[in-house]
Amino acid sequence: MGLAADLAVVFVAGLVTALATGVGALPFFLVEEFDDRWNVALWGLASGIMVAASLFGPVREGLAYGDAWLLAPGALAGVALVAAGHAVVDGVDPDPGEYERADFRKLVLILGVLTVHSFPEGVAVGVSFAELGFADAETVTVAGVALPVLAAFMTVAISIHNVPEGVAVAIPLRSLGVGEWRMVWWAVFSSLPQPVGAVLAFAFVSLARGLLPLGFGFAAGAMVSLVATEFVPEALERGRDLSGGGRREFVAGALVGALAMVPLALV
């Protein structure tokens, strides 16, 4: 495939992760409320997947393509991007309930904030496709396209992570009486920056193959930082009224997620 075709494949993968956010709103077609235990377990599942995938995937691949001296600054840059994103998001807290009343200027503002929030996740997806088209890359065929194993795992990991995020967006909209399909749309809207970030990251590592370790380090740093600063606090917040503060559900989900990534270490 040429670069244009590769970019299209990466964009579709990023779009899949964004659409997965809409899945978080689907339970509200059937029930009025979503059990916090499942919410916490999903955050734990996503955390286990992300941490294990970063170790078995980007870190290992980065070391395979270069020395740790490029991997380390890349990881620090990924952490810095997430920290910068949190600094911006902490300054502006868009209420999902406002989406239904927002005018054009407000929607632009909300999208800008969500771009900072979602961009690192898209970057992780894009970098995971760095071996797309490599003759010696381990691949898995999806819809007739040979994808790097790491890319397939990462796309699934981010998609799973986006499901509870979709629930988080849908809950306040449900309380405002917003229709189910509109909740799905706004949930997907909140993750639309991810395919953009995926394409930009992939284009960068494709044009600068010598900096692959830097890119892999960036993805790993961003992923672990997201887990530490977003997934874990969100899970504990959701589980604060559960027995044990939801820690058992979170740990159980994290262990399942980590074990699910073991095959990535074997390829």
Q: Which residues contact 85 (CB under 8 A, 6 or more apart)?
A: 116, 117, 119, 120
pTM flag (> 0.75) = no
Check pLDDT > 80 for residue 118: no
The C-alpha atoms of residue 184 and residue 187 are separated, in whole angstroms, by: 5
Per-residue pLDDT tens over the stretch 159-203: 887 776 777 667 656 656 778 888 888 888 878 888 988 898 888
Q: Is the dihedral of CA 257, 263, 266, 267 positive or negative?
A: negative
Contact 168, 234 (CB under 8 A): yes
Q: Which pair of tokens denotes residue 3?
A: 């670069």
Q: Which pair of tokens denotes residue 248?
A: 């058992």
Per-residue pLDDT tens over the stretch 215-245: 778 778 877 887 888 778 878 888 888 888 8
